[in-house]
Amino acid sequence: MPTHPVLISSDQIQKRIRQLSREIRSHYKNKDLVILGLLNGSLFFLVDLLRHLPDRLEIECWRLRSYPAGHRQSSGKVEGLKEGHGNFKNKHVLIVDDILDTGLTLSSVKQRLTELGACDVKICVLLKKKKKRQRPITAKWSCFEIGDEFVFGYGLDYDGYYRQVPEIRTLKV
């Protein structure tokens, strides 16, 4: 795929995940932690991060959607929140997602977890865009900050494809 330049290589991703996992391990030492992965985008990031985290934690996954197929802009609505399962009451929850863009998805998930009784909710993302968010939300941990470009690979799709591309590439159309 030479037309779509590599933005972040696979080696850079793995190196940064190892750094981040050290911080996460020390932050949650002696706490009951639930990792909540948001699918499909966090698929590879979630698995690679989990390889470096302790065995004693719970894992939940919610399947959400905010981009209509074939679009490069959020629909402004997050689907799938009410179907999300798991016991979050009085738990420390770490949401793991692919990208913090407008902030709509992560702020909706955070609010839902508070309704479900979580005592602490933090966010860990692979990427965060530099732009101004539509919702006031921050990620405690993020691997890389990028510009306002559409990217795919390492879990992120374009129109449902290219998730398994091992690096992150910028879409050029």
Catalytic residues: 101
CB closer to ligand XMP, 92 vs 98: 98
CB closer to ligand XMP, 17 vs 139: 139
Q: Which of 36, 104, 118, 124 lies at the binding interface for ligand XMP (CB under 6 A)? A: 104
Of residues 122-161, those binding ligand XMP (CB under 6 A): 150-152, 156-158
SS3 per-residue string spanning the chain: CCCCCEEECHHHHHHHHHHHHHHHHHHCCCCCEEEEEEECCCHHHHHHHHCCCCCCCEEEEEECECCCCCCCCCCCCCECCCCCCCCCCCCEEEEEEEEECCCHHHHHHHHHHHHCCCCEEEEEEEEEECCCCCCCCCCCEEEEEECCCCEEECCECECCECCCCCCEEECCC
Question: Is position 109 an interface residue for ligand XMP (rule: CB under 6 A)?
Answer: no
**Nearest-approach distance from CB 14 to ligand XMP, in angstroms:** 20
By rule CB under 6 A, what string of x and - marks binding of each residue 46-85 to ligand XMP? --------------------xx------x-----------
Residues forming contacts to ligand XMP in the complex (CB under 6 A) are 41, 66-67, 74, 97-105, 150-152, 156-158
